[in-house]
Amino acid sequence: MASSTIHHPYIGTCASSVELLYGKSFKLLNLHNTNKKNKKKVRISCSYSVPDSTCEVVGDGVVYKEDEEGKRVLRVGIICGGPSSERGISLNSARSLLHHIQGDDLQVSCYYIDCNLNAYAISSAQVYSNTPADFDYKLESLAQSFQTLADLAEHLATAVDIVFPVIHGKFGEDGDIQELLERYNVPFVGTGSNECHQAFDKYKASLELSKLGFITVPNFLVQDYGTSKSELSEWFNRHQLDPDSGKVVIKPTIGGSSIGVRVAYGVADSIVKAEEIISEGIDNRVLIEMFLEGGSEFTAIVLDVGTGSDHRPVVLLPTEVELQFCGANDLKENDAIFNYRRKYLPTSQVAYHTPPRFPLDAIENIRKGASVLFQQLGLRDFARIDGWFLPNSSCTLSSSESDFGSTESGTILFTDINLISGMEQTSFLFQQASKVGFSHTNILRSIIHHACLRFPNIASVSGLPGLVPSRSKSSKLNKSFPHRKGARKVFVIFGGDTSERQVSLMSGTNVWLNLQAFDDLEVIPCLLSPTSEYASSVDAGKDPDDVRSRTVWSLPYSLVLRHTTEEVLDACVEAIEPDRAVLTSDLRKKVMNDLMEGLKDHNWFKGFDVVDEVPMRFSLEQWIKLAKEVQATVFLAVHGGIGEDGTLQSLLDAEGVPYTGPGSMASKLCMDKVATSVALKHLANSGVLTINKDVRRKDDLVNKLINDDIWHELTQKLQCETLCVKPSKDGCSTGVARLCCSKDLAIYVKALEDCLLRIPPNSLSKAHGMIEMPNPPPELVIFEPFIETDEIIVTSKFKNGNGHGLTWKGHNRWVEITVGVVGKLGSMQSLSPSVTVKETGDILSLEEKFQGGTGINLTPPPSSIMSAKALEICKQNIELIANTLQLEGFSRIDAFVNVDSGEVLIIEVNTVPGMTPSTVLIHQALAEKPPLYPHQFFRTLLDLAHERNM
């Protein structure tokens, strides 16, 4: 085979492709994967190199790739990033896409466009970063740059077969990236440039929808500053809105579906908030819309399964978006909308229902209308269309009888066209696709192969084998497991009832999806229900204080992909409720029949691979006995509570069931922050320091008058000016706040007394973000000195004298770090620490730790902050902590480190750390040499647990 080299129009050393093997030894820790018989090769190629041994130039001038057996390999280029505020979410989508489509038959290359429209070819490891700011500041030294976007397009024309753009918002959905690719004849997934331009602009789309006979939301366009107050007042009057208090929604015309969206009251407030959007640079054209009181928001994925010019858009099962509040103790907002925070942070303020709880005629109308819209607007491959259902009892809009969207039960309005739907692991795309038989891999590859049909040069590749996994993605937990010789059972358990249960769901989902990559494993996701659920269900009559009577649900594929644990639980109950189950089954069959009408003509489609199953319910005691019976290994992802205090570990130990992470005694010790400090106090001369603590009972604080005397007592005892307060035995994010005066302390104690679920931003004397509070409130809280560190600023907007977008004054020589430790008992080893960067306030927020696309982690610590020598000493101290506490398997240690000496000031130890797609543990594993990709990392942790009990 002839070799070929592609010369790129940029300067830099070309990195070779990374070829990873499942089962490769973890050299750093000298651990060995026992999965030798089922090694599975995956190519993860950096986009700026093409392996010579597998390339040849064919007649059409395109460089194609073949695997070792001479079969054609489809080369897909993922482009993410972009200039919009959604570039962090774009990175999440790229990560998910990369994870689920790569394989022997499909090579993935990754590209990134920064906020200044500079283009880079990046390694797949960078895609696993939490946010672009994690690597923006070091792109020049880390990635291969293109001088212009035209150079990028010329490179793509020869280096890949098809591009999958996942840039959300500007430059991704407005037609700009599509226009660039069209100009250089680069095949791509998704809608063409002209159609994107029309559909992405909310005002233009609204006009077009009205022309097509759809009912639209009345709106008023604001262009730049100086809006005519009289014209807007006339619009308010025309639509029977009070000019002083009428409720409206303000949104940018070309922003995403949630960035910059806000609520206003009356004409004056509307003008102010519209001009805020303009002044913030989000958009210079703003739409004012009526607030649809009494309506329910929905979103629907549309998939084109047609051939050539024969478009056949099929709408999957729509999802109802329900904003909800947890009683009087929650902060109910009058202007509550489905905003960025609610969309991407797992809190109980929003719930999804798939299919919607709408009348059947409304659901059918949504599916019919979205399909017509997709076709009439000239959309391609897939899209997400959002809208509202207004029951007849709610506000009515004037419309003619011919207008599409009027049903017997209410009115359907379509409001937003999303040309590139978000692709996080539990996004609407995957929720709805799994409900009708598609796994993540199957739906994404179906979209890609459908797009290939438009391009003759690559259409033949659409017959690639292996589109559908060789086995069903069944998750049923009983004796009828699809049995294969040598297959190991893995139960991934998550949920619980602590304030970290939503993060636990994200962790468990991520672990489950990653471990599915191994054909020698049967991986079953399981939900540990809240205590409030089990007492009145199958375990009625049992002692509610006996954790063994807690309920565990084994979950089918589609029920895992939810926003919150409450939502998963509700879905379980719905799935076994006869009437709801029949409705869902009927709708599912209808959609699948519609899909098969088109998919049967495509030779690449091998069938659906997610089975329609019902969840199964067990007591925790029954579930553990079942784990023992089928010789399962339990992957613990229950954060806090019984998942981290040694309780679950003790129950599993009693039955001899292997599990991930430290044993029961170490878990119990580390859960108690005070006990952890006491256990490490003797290491002060070895470079490990502890923070002084004062523990107070919540009831004692509530019953006292909080005044300056109490404040002075605390600060004098702890010898500090400001305090950090946190729950004694809760997670690492909830309930943590900086207190600067007695008034702050009083506000915090009042929040505990009132059982508030959250303290609103800027309630305390120093600026801060939303503080999520533990529910129920903790019995004990800890006060400790607040450790001051110098602000670290990471930006790509400017460069300092060193050529990096990283600024740190370094007057205070301590920085906050978080670091994973992995290994066997007595020989735990430290991964490379991550420096955590606080973007808002003094405490890392829940968003910065767990919300995708938010929060900056510098991995490894930049040399401009910490020297290599100090870093090595720091890692040695971290290992000393881990081995002193008798950790095993894996854990995460949070601390402050002195950047000169490597001394460590311990904050806390998490024995069941976050394992979300954006966790720092993944960044740190990828920083190893060779890098450990997520599926390998989680497999290593699983094998450590398995080996411990052998």
Q: How far is CA 71 from CA 55, 66, 460, 464, in A?
A: 11, 5, 12, 9
| Confidence band for 631, pLDDT divided at 50, 70 and 90 | very high
Tell me the two tokens of residue 517.
Answer: 């990559």
Tell me the two tokens of residue 172.
Answer: 């991704």
Report yes or no: 942 and 846 within 8 Å, Cβ to Cβ: no
Q: What are the tens digits of pLDDT across the range 686-737?
A: 999 999 999 999 999 999 889 999 999 999 999 999 999 998 876 556 789 9
Q: Give me the residues paired with residue 78 across strands.
A: 110, 164
Q: 932-944: b or e for each residue (b if 16 or more CB lie within 10 Å)?
A: bbbbbbbbbbbbb
719 contacts: CB under 8 Å, gap ≥ 6: 692, 785
Measured distance CA(160)–CA(448) in Å, rounded: 13
Measured distance CA(312)–CA(252) in Å, rounded: 31
400 contacts: CB under 8 Å, gap ≥ 6: none
The three-state secondary structure class of 239 is coil
Residue 433 has pLDDT above 50, yes or no: yes
| Confidence band for 350, pLDDT divided at 50, 70 and 90 | confident
Tell me the two tokens of residue 942.
Answer: 């699983």
Task: Name the H helices within 118-250.
Answer: 124-127, 133-136, 139-142, 149-159, 176-183, 193-200, 202-211, 229-238
CATH of 671-690+790-911, one of 1.10.2020.10, 3.40.50.1580, 3.30.470.20, 3.40.50.970: 3.30.470.20
Report yes or no: 734 and 774 within 8 Å, Cβ to Cβ: yes
Measured distance CA(85)–CA(880) in Å, rounded: 41
* pLDDT at residue 833, as a whole number: 95
* pLDDT at residue 70, as a whole number: 57
Q: Give me the residues paired with residue 18 across strands.
A: 44
217 — phi, psi (to 5°)?
A: -80, 130
**Domain pair 198-326+334-422 / 671-690+790-911, same fold:** yes
* pLDDT at residue 273, as a whole number: 92
The three-state secondary structure class of 808 is strand
Task: Name the H helices within 719-836.
Answer: 742-753
* pLDDT at residue 349, as a whole number: 63
Report yes or no: 831 and 859 within 8 Å, Cβ to Cβ: no
Tell me the two tokens of residue 507.
Answer: 């962790």
| Confidence band for 227, pLDDT divided at 50, 70 and 90 | confident
| Confidence band for 603, pLDDT divided at 50, 70 and 90 | confident
Q: At residue 485, what is the residue type?
A: K
The owner of tokens 């407005």 is 174
Tell me the two tokens of residue 514.
Answer: 């990653």
Q: Give me the residues paired with residue 908 across strands.
A: 894
Pairing relationship of beta strands 633-636 and 488-495 according to DSSP bridges: parallel
Please give the angle made by the CA atoms of 412, 416 and 421, to the nearest 5 degrees.
120
Residue 468 has pLDDT above 70, yes or no: no
Q: What are the tens digits of pLDDT across the range 77-106?
A: 999 999 988 888 899 999 999 999 998 899
Q: Compute the half-sphere exposure of residue 760: CA atoms within 13 Å on the CB side of its CA.
A: 6
Tell me the DSSP string of 772-784. Answer: E--SSPPSEEEEE
Report yes or no: 777 and 755 within 8 Å, Cβ to Cβ: yes
Measured distance CA(859)–CA(836) in Å, rounded: 9
Report yes or no: 556 and 613 within 8 Å, Cβ to Cβ: yes
Q: What are the tens digits of pLDDT across the range 490-540?
A: 999 999 988 788 889 999 999 999 999 999 999 999 999 987 543 333 344
Query: Helix, strand, coil: what percent of the chain each, to 5?
Result: 35, 20, 45
Measured distance CA(174)–CA(200) in Å, rounded: 5
Lowest mean per-residue pLDDT among 271-275, 471-475, 594-598, 762-766: 471-475
| pTM to 2 decimal places | 0.85
Q: How far is CA 717 from CA 113, 483, 680, 726, in A?
A: 52, 62, 21, 17
Q: For residue 578, say if its preceding peptide bond is cis, omega within 30 degrees of 0.
A: no
Contacts 24+ apart (CB under 8 A), 755-758: 755/329, 756/329, 756/331, 757/326, 757/329, 757/330, 757/331, 757/348, 758/330, 758/331
Strand order across the beta sheet in which 262-265 lies: 219-223, 285-290, 247-252, 262-265
> What average pLDDT does the structure give for the chain?
83
CATH of 198-326+334-422, one of 3.40.50.300, 3.30.470.20, 3.30.9.10, 3.20.20.70: 3.30.470.20
Q: What are the tens digits of pLDDT across the range 247-263?
A: 999 999 986 556 788 89
3-state SS of 639-703 is CCHHHCCCHHHHHHHHHCCCECCCCHHHHHHHHCHHHHHHHHHHHHHHCEEECCCEEEEHHHHHC
* pLDDT at residue 841, as a whole number: 46
How far is C-alpha 153 from the chain's CA centre?
A: 29
Percentage above 70 pLDDT, the chain: 80
Closest residue by Cα to residue 248 from 278, 207, 218, 227: 218
Report yes or no: 432 and 386 within 8 Å, Cβ to Cβ: no
Lowest mean per-residue pLDDT among 36-45, 298-307, 741-750, 820-829: 36-45
Q: What are the tens digits of pLDDT across the range 769-800?
A: 788 888 778 899 999 999 888 888 776 544 44
Tell me the two tokens of residue 548.
Answer: 């063994």
Q: At residue 533, what is the residue type?
A: E
101 contacts: CB under 8 Å, gap ≥ 6: 76, 108, 441, 444, 445, 448
Give the start-to-end residue ranges of the domains of the chain: 74-188, 198-326+334-422, 671-690+790-911, 694-785
The owner of tokens 């009181």 is 293
Highest mean pLDDT among 25-29, 40-44, 93-97: 93-97
Q: At residue 682, what is the residue type?
A: H
Lowest mean per-residue pLDDT among 219-223, 286-290, 838-842, 892-896: 838-842
Highest mean pLDDT among 211-220, 457-466, 630-639: 630-639
Q: 865-904: b or e for each residue (b if 16 or more CB lie within 10 Å)?
A: bbeeebbebbbebbbbbbbebbbbbbbbbbbbbbbeebbb
Measured distance CA(941)–CA(636) in Å, rounded: 11
Report yes or no: 588 and 317 within 8 Å, Cβ to Cβ: yes
* pLDDT at residue 788, as a whole number: 86
Closest residue by Cα to residue 647 from 743, 728, 540, 549: 549
Measured distance CA(374)–CA(880) in Å, rounded: 59
CATH of 74-188, one of 3.30.70.360, 3.40.50.20, 3.10.450.50, 3.30.70.60: 3.40.50.20
* pLDDT at residue 7, as a whole number: 32
The gap between the terminal CA atoms of the chain, to the nearest Å, is 48
Task: Specify burial of residue 532 (Cβ count, 10 A radius: 0-12, 13-18, 19+).
Answer: exposed
| Confidence band for 742, pLDDT divided at 50, 70 and 90 | very high
Report yes or no: 452 and 307 within 8 Å, Cβ to Cβ: no
Report yes or no: 434 and 316 within 8 Å, Cβ to Cβ: no
Q: Give me the residues paired with residue 819 across strands.
A: 893
Measured distance CA(388)–CA(405) in Å, rounded: 10
Report yes or no: 44 and 102 within 8 Å, Cβ to Cβ: yes
Q: How far is CA 356 from CA 203, 300, 319, 436, 670, in A?
A: 27, 10, 5, 15, 43
502 contacts: CB under 8 Å, gap ≥ 6: 346, 347, 348, 563, 564, 565
Q: Give me the residues paired with residue 42 across strands.
A: 20
